[in-house]
Amino acid sequence: MTKPELLSPCGDYECFLAAIHAGCDAVYLGASFSARAYARNFTPEEILTAIDYAHLFSKKVYLTLNILMKDPEMDLIHDFLNPLYLAGLDGVIVQDIGLINYIRANFPQLPVHASTQMTITDAEGVLLLKEMGVSRVVLARELSLKEIRKIGEETGVSLECFIHGALCYSYSGKCLMSSLIGGRSGNRGRCAQPCRLPYDGKYPLSCRDICTLKILPQLIDAGIASFKIEGRMKNPAYVAGVTGIYRKYIDRYLNDRTKPYQVDEEDFTILKTLYTRSGHTEGYYGIHNGPEMITMQKPGYAKADEQLEKETMDRFISKTPKLPLELSVTLLSGQPALLSAKSGAHAVTVEGDTVEAAKKRALLNEDIKKQLLKLGGTEFSCKKIDIDSPGNIFLPVSSINSLRREAVLALREEILKKGKRSKEIHGSFGIIHEEQKPYPPKPFLHASVSTMEQADALIHDPNVQILSVPVELFSSDTVLKAYRERIKTAPLKLFVIFPYICRDQYFQRHAHLITELLSGNEVAGVMIRNYESLYYLKQIAYTGEILADLHLYAFNRYARYQLNDAGISITTVPVELNQKELRIRNASSEDLIVYGRLPLMISAQCLQKTHGKCDHSGRLCEIKDRYNVVFPHQSVCSECYSILYNSVPLSLHTDTDLIRKLHPYSVRMIFTTEEGSMIGKMISDFSKALFDGIPFQPDYAYTRGHMQRGVE
């Protein structure tokens, strides 16, 4: 059985030292381009210092680059990353698919870990990233141990999972709530946590913190390679205490698995007291969702007092660790002084000043030892000193001190040498040479629906050139057969929409339906919303069009290039970029959302179940915030996830000039809560505004989204 890596969070250098000294195997930390923009974070110089210090003690340092990157930021990545790469950085944690490919091409020896922000939920997603050179995948936190074990067996890829800390209500990477409501994007490390606020007088979107101490054996037996502690916003006492306690129980279980595994209540109490949001849950490892994972009452933050924090630091960091050192000095009259230093498998010898014959007082062995033991400011502790000297010799104290300093420094460099990289290697991905796709004289109008009533209302609408329909609406062969007959006479392209979340062997479970849908000529393309779907379509050699929805973020030209290279025909214009950023990036030949309620969250939780019992109807319901703003909520019961929509639709009916300048392949109108009888007129109004320059004034409240403001 492989011993799992214990991976600790570091918001600053003090937390870094706390993690190293408390027994972690690796740390993850951030600087620029990090998903914790409000942590203190590290300067590049501090990261270089941390890398050397960690490597002295055989620990690893991973850098978080886990945000969506804007094009000007991509231009800065090489100069930012290069010195860290040469210094021996052990890996980078990445969300942006364009950045993954850039790093693999330009820094080929640097391991890339796919962030949990990539929302990887099944083996297909892991295998796609494996093909792209990703060496580790941080899985979505919503997966069960059964699913994790299966993914590990099918892929052979190193998997990382969270074992302690905060839980998001949404699948990470599929949350736009903070962005669309307040302009602070979770995809850019600036989440304002609107999920922690009251809705309908309670807190149904606020998850408890996860604590897996009592189920560690099951996690270890599942074959997880790395156990990740959340908490880059938390203090050194939290880092030390959580790291130290998990270190204790990982080792306890692995050192003697014949003994019953039992957690001391004192340790569990410390974890609950250091920092907890309304109690603990064991997360999704054993259950799919449930009210026991939600705070419901106002989230209470149990934070340790100063005395407990001091006691925690004293308990888990009783003394600074030191490397064992053996010294051997040779002092022969008339010859240079020689000092050999050894630590573990590493050894060096340095040469000093010439030893002289003693004219007055001879240099005693006690004097030599006294100077050689002055190691207080170093990472070493001397365990043994051998002195080879005939006596009656003399060497100034300053020369002995200089010899010691040179030997220790040389030994330090020798230990660190293995982790360094000699040079950067530039690949062919430094510059993007995009093939400019010809765009149509005017974009196609794409209508995306949620119900068969909406689809029926639009299937013969002359203004619609593309109609996309969720795959789950074709629930039977009878429905599919009937729709095939209707689509034959429709003057449009039909796209089927794969689910937001594909997990628990989704494609094996629905192989018959998908094969039937894609085997005929009626379906022109597929809209996909996750990396699992992309890998599946590649595996079956699908030749139709593939449209990547908004959660397959083509945030920069590198990401767009990579998605196209992976088989995507059409990408969706990012909804978090403003018009200036879109012009820099180039939005031509893409699908541009011009109307619709955008999804704020995709969650494994179920509001019906949280409030009582789910009736499995998949019906729309609502929640209200503290200002009585209503947010529609849709349950997708076939795959047991939910969608929380924005309170008002996006509507770009006033931006027709800009839309024409962006040259999209298609303009998409998304229909969710709208009745079928309404949407024909809405399509007509938009079509006239976009293509004929005839403005209209909608009778509904709307938002222009980020077209003007964008996100930081």
Phi-psi region of 497 (alpha: psi -120 to 50; beta: other; left: phi over 0): beta
- Cα-to-chain-centroid distance, residue 342: 40
As given in the structure block, the two tokens for residue 564 are: 């196209």
Instruction: List b or e across 610-633, with b for residues whose CB sees 16 or more CB atoms inside 10 angstroms.
Output: bbeebeeeeeeeebeeeeeeebbb
Output the pLDDT for position 426. Answer: 54
247-298 residue pLDDT tens: 999 999 999 988 999 999 999 888 888 888 777 899 999 999 999 999 988 8
Residue reference for tokens 């796709």: 437
- What is the average pLDDT across 189-198? 93
Distances (CA, A) of 97 to 128, 295, 555, 597: 11, 34, 9, 26
Residue range 587-615: mean pLDDT, rounded:
94
- The arithmetic mean of pLDDT across residues 44-71, rounded, is 96
Query: Please, which residues have CB within 8 angstroms of residue 678's CB and are 6 or more apart in sequence?
Result: none
CA 453 – CA 431 distance, rounded (Å):
47
Q: What is the dihedral of CA 356, 359, 362, 367, to 10 degrees?
A: -70
- The pLDDT value recorded for residue 207 is 94
* pLDDT the model gives residue 38: 66
Which of 542, 534, 484 minimizes the C-alpha distance to 515? 542
Residue 1 has pLDDT above 70, yes or no: no
Lowest-confidence pick of 374-388, 444-458, 482-496: 482-496
Q: State residue 446's pLDDT score.
A: 98
Q: For 179, phi and psi rounded to 5 degrees?
A: -65, -50
How many angstroms separate the CA atoms of 569 and 493, rounded?
14
Bridge partners of 703?
650
Mean pLDDT of the chain: 92
pLDDT per position as a tens digit, 545-563 = 999 999 999 999 999 999 9
Note the pLDDT of residue 432.
55
Closest CA to 670 of 543, 579, 549, 544: 549
% of the chain beyond a pLDDT of 70: 96
34 or 120: which leads in pLDDT: 120
Q: Quick one: pLDDT band at residue 404, thresholds 50, 70, 90?
A: very high
* Residue 247 identity (one-letter amino acid): R
What is the DSSP annotation of 58-73?
A: T-EEEEEE-SPPPHHH
What digits encode the pLDDT tens for the residues 334-357?
A: 999 999 999 999 999 999 999 999
Sheet with 323-330, edge to edge strand ranges: 346-354, 336-343, 323-330, 380-388
Confidence (pLDDT) at 422: 79
Q: With 60 as the cut, is the pLDDT of residue 48 above it?
A: yes
Contact 531, 452 (CB under 8 A): no
**pLDDT the model gives residue 628:** 97
User: pLDDT at position 429, please?
Assistant: 47
Q: Helix, strand or coil for residue 13?
A: helix
d(CA 283, CA 211): 7
H or E segment and range at residue 49: helix 44-56
Question: Strand pairing partners for 347?
Answer: 342
The mean pLDDT value for 603-631 works out to 93
Averaged over 616-641, what is the pLDDT? 93
- What 111-114 contacts at long range (C-beta under 8 Å, 24+ apart), as own/partner pairs, is 111/135, 111/136, 113/62, 113/137, 113/138, 113/160, 114/138
Q: What pTM was computed for the model?
A: 0.94
Lowest-confidence pick of 188-192, 309-313, 448-452, 491-495: 309-313
SS (H, E, C) 541-597: CCCCEEEECCCCCCCCHHHHHHHHHCCCCEEECCCCCCHHHHHHHCCCCCEEEEEEC
DSSP-assigned letters across all residues of 87-126? HT--EEEE--HHHHHHHHHHSTTS-EEE-GGG---SHHHH
For residue 614, how many C-alpha atoms fall within 13 Å in the half-sphere facing its CB?
Answer: 21
* CB contact set of 417 (below 8 Å; sequence gap of 6+): none
284-314 pLDDT tens trace: 999 999 999 999 888 766 677 788 888 888 8
* pLDDT 10s digits, 433-463: 555 566 677 899 999 999 999 999 999 899 9
Torsion of CA 574, 579, 584, 588, to 10 degrees: 60
Burial zone of 569 (CB within 10 Å; 0-12 exposed, 13-18 middle, 19+ buried): middle
